Amino acid sequence: MKFVFKWLFRLLLLAVVLAVVLVLSLDSILRVVVQHNIRSQTGMEAEIGKFHLGLIESVVTIQNLKIYNPPDFGGTPFLDIPEIHVEYDRAALVNNQIHITLLRFNLGELDIVKNESGRTNIFSLGLAMPTKESVARSKDLSGFKKKTGLDFKGIEVLNVSVGTAKFIDLKDQRNNRTQAIGIENCVIKNVKTPADLAGLAVLIALRGGDFFNSLIVPAGLK
């Protein structure tokens, strides 16, 4: 009896230790998983400095996220994001709904790269400037549910910061330039469709001056 009790106690103690190790390692494990998912879904390498998923509080925080362009663009930097902080409604998520109470997004740097064959990364990755048709479609989020299986219920508070934008010409470095955007803590409330971000887009365009206008090229030349 004592033998069984002793080994049972040891097994329980081992289970507790493993549980503690798992909890302490969870963020590191998830960080690797997220990096892998970004790479598998986009073809771009990603590095995450710190990843935190709250076990009790409904929060996800990603710090120092860096995404790199694919080999076609020399593996150069693409996005430098110091912080993505999300606070969400867990009850809504259980019901297959996305309801974000706070999203803090800090885009430190966006690098727009033109490769030696004349192609630009933002166009190659499907991030071209919006057209009237795409703006009209942005009011309908049915595509979001088809892709994720979740209903998007909106973002109560969106806090956005944007640092700088760079243009890098791999063929002729004389064309390289940097534009400071300098938006800090721009708060937008009740975001339910991409159209609700129109004001932010206008602000970025104004801060960017001619930087973004020079990137708009005729169809067929992208």
Confirm whether 19 is domain-assigned: no
Q: What is the pLDDT of residue 12?
A: 56
Q: Is the pLDDT of residue 203 over 60?
A: yes
Q: Is the pLDDT of residue 102 over 90?
A: yes
Q: Which residues touch 53 (CB under 8 Å, ≥6 apart)?
A: 26, 27, 30, 59, 60
The torsion angles phi and psi of 54, rounded to 5 degrees, stand at -70, 130
pTM of the model: 0.80
Range of the domain at 169: 45-215
Q: What is the pLDDT of residue 21?
A: 52
Confirm whether 28 is domain-assigned: no
Query: Could you tell me which residue, 4 or 205, shows the higher pLDDT?
Result: 205
Query: Could you tell me which residue, 119 or 17, shows the higher pLDDT?
Result: 119
Residue 2: CA count within 13 A, CB half-sphere: 0
Q: What is the mean pLDDT of residues 43-61?
A: 89
Question: Number of folded domains in the chain?
Answer: 1
Q: What is the pLDDT of residue 222?
A: 42
Distances (CA, A) of 139 to 157, 191, 194: 19, 11, 7
Query: Could you tell me which residue, 78 or 10, shows the higher pLDDT?
Result: 78
Residue 145: CA count within 13 A, CB half-sphere: 10
Token code pair at residue 152 = 């998007």
Confirm whether 222 is domain-assigned: no
Q: What is the mean pLDDT of residues 58-78?
A: 91
Q: What is the pLDDT of residue 149?
A: 78
Confirm whether 25 is domain-assigned: no
Confirm whether 92 is domain-assigned: yes
Q: What is the mean pLDDT of residues 15-24?
A: 51
Contact by Cβ (8 Å): 75, 43: no
Contact by Cβ (8 Å): 86, 102: yes
Confirm whether 133 is domain-assigned: yes
Q: What is the pLDDT of residue 130?
A: 47
